[in-house]
Amino acid sequence: MKWTRIYSAQIGANANFANGLRDIVIRCLADNETPPLVTQDAELCLAEVFNNFVEHGLEERPYIEISIFVKTTPTARRFLLLDTGRQVPCDAYRMACMPEIDHQVPADFPEGGFGLALVKMLAERFLYRRVGGLNVTFLEFCTPKNEQT
């Protein structure tokens, strides 16, 4: 199976951008008869990555260019995300882990820090590399064996 481009555009600092991309991904997964659990995991993980495009990648830039590719197989859904945003700090993806919190004190919950750790937990594979001026992010979501056709 080959990679299919499902989105490519320049984006600016727009809070609705991440929601729009999430909707594109949901339609793509529905078109490929993706099992509900895989769709839920992919939607949550990709929403986090898309939010990071806006929240961190744009830093002092009027826009960034992004492209989203998908490859589907009977056992997996794979996403390749390319963007021209600011480089992710070298260990941010590799070192992402859930923050320590005091569960007895809700006000103690940190504002952020859950996103990438959650992506690492839900995606079968989550890879990042900087190539030239591009951030290259790969995510794979596998179909549970009892739902494979």
Residue 22: per-residue pLDDT = 79
Tokens of residue 31, six digits? 């078109």
Residue 93: per-residue pLDDT = 57
75-126 pLDDT per residue, tens: 999 999 999 988 876 555 555 554 555 555 555 545 555 677 888 889 999 9
Residue 81: per-residue pLDDT = 93
Strand partners, 80: 69, 138
Residue 60: per-residue pLDDT = 76
Residue 92: per-residue pLDDT = 57
Q: Where are the domains of the chain?
A: 4-147
Cα atoms in the Cβ-side hemisphere of radius 13 Å centred on 32: 23
Residue 15: per-residue pLDDT = 57
Mean pLDDT of 37-56: 84
Nearest-angstrom CA–CA distance, 118 and 120: 5
Contact 102, 85 (CB under 8 A): no
Residue 140: per-residue pLDDT = 96
State yes or no: pLDDT of 35 exceeds 80: yes
Helices marked H in the chain:
16-31, 36-52, 92-95, 115-122
Angle of the 36-52 helix axis to the 16-31 helix axis, nearest 10: 150
Higher pLDDT, 62 or 102: 62
Higher pLDDT, 66 or 18: 66
CATH top class, domain 4-147:
alpha beta
Helices marked H in 53-89:
none
Contact 66, 133 (CB under 8 A): no
State yes or no: pLDDT of 73 exceeds 80: yes
State yes or no: pLDDT of 28 exceeds 80: yes
Residue type, 101: I
